[in-house]
Amino acid sequence: MIRFDNVGMRYGDGPEVLHDVTFELESGGFAFLTGPSGAGKSTLLKLVYLAERPTRGLVHLLGHDIATTPRRRLPELRRRIGVVFQDFRLVDHLSAFDNVALPLRVAGAPETRIREEVTELLHWVGLGDHMDARPPALSGGQQQRIAIARAVIARPKLIVADEPTGNVDDKMAFRLMRLFEELNRHGTTVLVATHNDALVARFGHRRLRLEAGELMPERSARQSA
Ligand SMILES: Nc1ncnc2c1ncn2[C@@H]1O[C@H](COP(=O)(O)OP(=O)(O)O)[C@@H](O)[C@H]1O
Ligand SMILES: [Mg+2]
């Protein structure tokens, strides 16, 4: 699903912020990406959701070598990835409902199905009473839940989430992680960046740890238990 071979990344002519990152996340896998602020988590995710290209090394995604994939093919790949951005990136003039409906509308789903699925998911994330509200009228935590609902509504092959529980309480964070797990059980590959170690500890998934742009050697599940 995702393979990085000796990936290095710098912004412009600044210092390198990822060094020789090599890892593989198999189809149907679930991994947390952890590490302190500034370690490069968001940068690594941007390479995965094709917002950036590596300065060196190889990024393989959904069976494609990104460096040799024609630029015009990238949007099609990109649509198979559900992204939860750290800053949400909701459409402010659309209701919560219409924000979440967007990926289904892009995919040409019938309105009856859209109404049913969006309504159910918004209830599930606790926003059943706010479906008509626009994002600026909602709290950070509520906006975050809309962003998560939008990322998962069209059942993407791959979900990439950048600090998706940074604005909600522990109980909601746990609930949202269970949503990712539920999708993962149905075959979706999940990569979640977080510096919430308590949350990571509660779920027994693989951990990829970045420190100062370097991926730390992985411990086996037994060692980290
Ligand atoms: N758009 C950018 N331009 C220049 N430097 C950036 C940019 N985004 C991030 N960086 C730098 O890259 C490094 C890694 O940042 P980031 O990937 O955001 O880390 P994390 O998500 O782990 O906090 C930091 O030193 C940060 O300042
Ligand atoms: Mg970040």
d(C-alpha 142, C-alpha 90), whole Å: 11
User: Which pLDDT does position 197 carry in this prediction?
Assistant: 86
Residue whose CB lies within 8 A of the most ligand 1 atoms, among 11, 52, 197, for a mutation test: 11
d(C-alpha 96, C-alpha 83), whole Å: 17
d(C-alpha 59, C-alpha 158), whole Å: 15
68-to-6, 50, 91, 129, 216 alpha-carbon distances in Å: 16, 13, 32, 46, 28
Residues in contact with ligand 1 by the CB-under-6-Å rule are 11, 14, 17, 35, 37-43
Which atom of ligand 1 lies closest to the CA of 45? 17
Which residues 6+ apart lie within 8 Å of 158 measured at CB?
Answer: 1, 2, 48, 61, 62, 80, 81, 82, 188, 189, 190, 191
DSSP state of 162: E
Mean pLDDT value across the chain? 93
Q: Are 159 and 167 in contact (CB under 8 A)?
A: no
Nearest ligand to the CA of 16 is 1
User: Which pLDDT does position 220 carry in this prediction?
Assistant: 61
Q: How far is the CA of 127 from the centre of ligand 1 (A)?
A: 32
pLDDT at 196 over 60: yes
